[in-house]
Amino acid sequence: MIECRRASRALGALAKSYLISISCFIFLINDANAADCRWFGRDAQKAIKSHVAALQRLEHEASDRTKGLDSRPFEFLRDAAKKTTAIIADPAALKDEEGLERCRNATRPIRKICAGSAQLLVDVLEKHVANPKPDYDKPQYAEAMAACEKLMGLKPLKTVIRGTD
């Protein structure tokens, strides 16, 4: 009988320790998720800012090309922009960004915005490859790129491609 009581007390103590461990684990998981929400914008900016700057350089070169100042063909610029777009629009990172809806404070989908802007640049360069005087929505492109640049803390460009130069 005494051994049975000792066994039940030991089992009760073991159950309490498991319960405490699980509670602590749950609190740690919630803190980790909150930290992801808190620092998401900074981390996304750190991850893609150099690639957005590379897109700016490509856009500047394309603008120079339309003026006859750059010798690189639009095909080269388009292919370089496609590579950079693929880095910005990383599917795994975009999927993580979809989870931002669970965050308490509103967090902008930085990668999604910049990936859309990068794809617009690729589309514009594709049109330049097909036609020396392409027709596309310059204000839409300029607005999209300006939004991405603002999120990255970069100064918006003034180029022929955007219709602002």
Question: Domain containing 108: what range?
Answer: 41-152
CB 6 within 8 Å of CB 74? no
**Considering the domain boundaries, does residue 31 fall inside one?**
no
Q: Considering the entire predicted model, what is its pTM?
A: 0.76
**Considering the domain boundaries, does residue 165 fall inside one?**
no
**Considering the domain boundaries, does residue 136 fall inside one?**
yes
**Considering the domain boundaries, does residue 13 fall inside one?**
no
Give the pLDDT score at 31.
42
Give the pLDDT score at 70.
83
Round to whole Å and give the CA distance between 91 and 17: 41
**Considering the domain boundaries, does residue 78 fall inside one?**
yes
**Considering the domain boundaries, does residue 73 fall inside one?**
yes
pLDDT means per 10 residues in the chain (165 residues)?
65 60 53 60 91 96 91 94 96 87 81 96 96 92 96 94 86
CB 55 within 8 Å of CB 84? yes
Backbone angles phi, psi at 109, to 5 degrees: -80, 80
**Considering the domain boundaries, does residue 24 fall inside one?**
no
CB 117 within 8 Å of CB 53? no
Round to whole Å and give the CA distance between 102 and 59: 35
**Considering the domain boundaries, does residue 127 fall inside one?**
yes
Give me the half-sphere count of Cα atoms (radius 13 Å) on the Cβ side of residue 67: 13
Domain count of the fold of the chain: 1
What are the tokens at 25?
Answer: 């684990």
Give the pLDDT score at 126.
96
